[in-house]
């Protein structure tokens, strides 16, 4: 069987008019002889509305009921897609995840798919039907509905592609693919033709909004190739694939910037063993993700400054934990929310020396001050003042020859 998985994001099924268009796209693949499995997200805004309702009811809404509630949006969009496919002459029906079932493991709100039972869907495909499967949801060992975290319908599609051994997994969205950087920040941003899982994972984790990071991890582990393309215009999108399938002459594949980082500096901390651990222990115990860290020491009075970043929505909790921490002494706590993490990403930097220098020199030429630095094998991130985001992206995009 030549199976293709087509996944539609919230904007692509955002109105009944758009759903009609989506049905035509699905029909197009069926006409080409593919056995089509559709996975859909909820109509845009639907999930947010449901989350808001849960908050109106309780600020401590029961997590298993929360999953029943917020996964409801997918039921609506799937029924509408199937209904439209029926209308234009195709055999189709909706499938809730528990009807298949799609089995998950883990906590409510952030479960992961462990197994998909194939039998019913394969039989349905063989009978000539087009199954339309709810993304984002699954069912656990207690027969309760679970969800995969915000944006989780990408993971549903990828795991369907894996379990049904699909020839293709196409993620339809409201942009034409993955760009060298967010086109809203830089007009010169270019569509990337091919990108590796690792690069895509970094891009998504560092602020590119196209796909959910967990789902890219699923794709990488299961070697599922993904096409990302627009449901609005019929153009070639971006292929996310294994590294060795990529031939490229560029060092850097993409740039990202964030708007939700905050920087804290503890001034005048004692410079002795164990201090950094004492600073970060309560943060880790409270699930606060510390991202970038620098420590600067002055030799004179055996004191050091520790600077680190956290996500802005965890800033107040972080400040509270630092202030309550009896194990550390410091002279001052300085907080800055007007910062952005700019990153350059590319597998090419593994084999190309001098990338770090080029990045720093480019920013220096634009008189942009670097506050914190962090690096990994395929990315370099710097923290800068938010007001310099566009200037920095433009300069780096040019320096690493992404403009053409
Ligand atoms: N509807 C869910 C959400 O908004 C899942 C998804 O869109 O992928 O997070
Ligand atoms: Mg979505």
C-alpha 330 to ligand 1 mean position (Å): 43
Q: What is the mean pLDDT of residues 222-237?
A: 96
Q: Could you read off the pLDDT of 30-86 as tens digits, one per residue?
A: 999 999 999 999 999 999 999 999 999 999 999 999 999 999 999 999 999 999 999
Predicted confidence (pLDDT) at residue 404 exceeds the cutoff of 90 = no
DSSP 237-258: -EEEE-GGG-----S--EEEE-
List phi, psi (to 5°) of 369: -80, 135
C-alpha 379 to ligand 1 mean position (Å): 28
Q: What is the mean pLDDT of residues 316-341?
A: 96
Predicted confidence (pLDDT) at residue 297 exceeds the cutoff of 90 = no
Query: Can you give the pLDDT at residue 382?
Result: 97
What band does 200 get if pLDDT is binned at 50, 70 and 90?
A: very high
C-alpha 80 to ligand 1 mean position (Å): 17
Asked if the 3-174 domain carries CATH number 3.40.190.10, the reply is no
Q: Is 152 in the pocket of ligand 1 (CB under 6 A)?
A: yes
Tell me whether residue 187 is exposed, middle or buried, using C-beta atoms within 10 angstroms of its C-beta: 0 to 12, 13 to 18, 19 or more: exposed
Report pTM: 0.89
Q: Is 136 in the pocket of ligand 1 (CB under 6 A)?
A: yes
| Most distant CA atoms of the chain, gap in Å | 81
Higher pLDDT among residues 208 and 66, named by residue: 66
Ligand (nearest to CA of 42): 1
Q: Is 153 in the pocket of ligand 1 (CB under 6 A)?
A: yes
Predicted confidence (pLDDT) at residue 248 exceeds the cutoff of 80 = no
Contact call for residues 210 and 228 (beta carbons, < 8 A): yes
Higher pLDDT among residues 273 and 387, named by residue: 387
Predicted confidence (pLDDT) at residue 247 exceeds the cutoff of 80 = no
Q: Is 124 in the pocket of ligand 1 (CB under 6 A)?
A: no
C-alpha 98 to ligand 2 mean position (Å): 20
| Residue range(s) of every CATH 3.30.2130.10 domain in the chain | 257-399
- Grouping H, G, I as helix, E, B as strand and the rest as coil, residue 318 is helix
- Sheet of 145-147, strand order: 112-116, 102-105, 137-139, 145-147
Q: Could you read off the pLDDT of 251-270 as tens digits, one per residue?
A: 999 999 999 999 999 999 98
Query: Can you give the pLDDT at residue 173?
Result: 95
Contact call for residues 337 and 379 (beta carbons, < 8 A): no
Q: Is 73 in the pocket of ligand 1 (CB under 6 A)?
A: yes
Ligand (nearest to CA of 151): 1
C-alpha 382 to ligand 2 mean position (Å): 29
Q: Could you read off the pLDDT of 133-189 as tens digits, one per residue?
A: 999 999 999 999 999 999 999 999 999 999 999 999 999 999 999 999 999 999 999
Predicted confidence (pLDDT) at residue 124 exceeds the cutoff of 80 = yes
| Residue range(s) of every CATH 3.40.1160.10 domain in the chain | 3-174
Which of ligand 1's atoms lies nearest the C-alpha of 212?
8
For the domain spanning 257-399, the CATH number is: 3.30.2130.10
Residue nearest to atom 5 of ligand 1 (CA): 151
Q: What is the mean pLDDT of the chain?
A: 95
Query: Can you give the pLDDT at residue 210?
Result: 85
């Amino acid at each position: 069987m030549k199976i293709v998985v087509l996944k539609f994001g919230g904007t692509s099924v955002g109105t009944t008019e758009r759903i009609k268009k989506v049905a035509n796209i699905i029909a197009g693949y069926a006409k080409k002889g593919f056995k089509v499995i559709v996975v859909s997200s909820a109509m845009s805004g639907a999930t947010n509305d449901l989350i808001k309702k849960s908050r109106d009811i309780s600020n401590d809404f029961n997590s298993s009921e929360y999953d029943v509630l917020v996964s409801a949006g997918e039921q609506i969009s799937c029924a509408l897609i199937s209904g439209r496919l029926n209308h234009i002459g195709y055999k189709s029906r909706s499938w809730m995840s528990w009807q298949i079932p799609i089995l998950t493991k883990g906590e409510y709100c952030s479960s992961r798919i462990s197994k998909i039972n194939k039998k019913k869907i394969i039989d349905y495909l063989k009978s000539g039907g087009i199954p339309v499967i709810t993304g984002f949801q699954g069912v656990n060992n207690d027969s309760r509905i679970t969800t995969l975290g915000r944006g989780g319908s990408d993971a549903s599609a990828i795991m369907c592609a894996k379990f049904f051994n699909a020839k293709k997994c196409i993620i339809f969205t409201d942009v034409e693919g993955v760009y060298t950087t967010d086109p809203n920040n830089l007009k010169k941003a270019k569509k990337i033709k091919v990108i590796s899982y690792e690069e895509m994972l970094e891009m998504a984790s560092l602020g590119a909004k196209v796909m959910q990071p967990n789902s890219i991890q699923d794709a990488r582990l299961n070697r599922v190739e993904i096409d990302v393309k627009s449901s609005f215009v019929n153009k070639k999108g971006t292929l996310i694939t294994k590294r060795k399938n990529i031939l490229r002459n560029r060092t850097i594949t993409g740039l990202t910037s964030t708007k939700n980082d905050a920087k804290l500096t503890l001034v005048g901390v004692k410079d002795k063993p164990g201090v950094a651990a004492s600073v970060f222990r309560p943060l880790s115990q409270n699930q606060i993700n510390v991202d970038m860290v620098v420590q600067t020491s002055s030799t004179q009075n055996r004191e050091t400054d520790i600077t680190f970043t956290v996500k802005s929505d965890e800033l107040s909790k972080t400040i509270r934990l630092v202030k309550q921490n009896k194990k550390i002494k410091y002279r001052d706590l300085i907080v800055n929310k007007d910062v952005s993490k700019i990153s350059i990403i590319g597998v090419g930097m593994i084999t190309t020396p001098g990338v770090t220098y080029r990045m720093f020199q480019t920013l220096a030429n634009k008189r942009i001050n670097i506050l914190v630095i962090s690096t990994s094998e395929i990315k370099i991130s710097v923290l800068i003042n938010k007001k310099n985001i566009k200037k920095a992206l433009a300069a780096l995009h040019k320096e690493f020859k992404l403009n053409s």
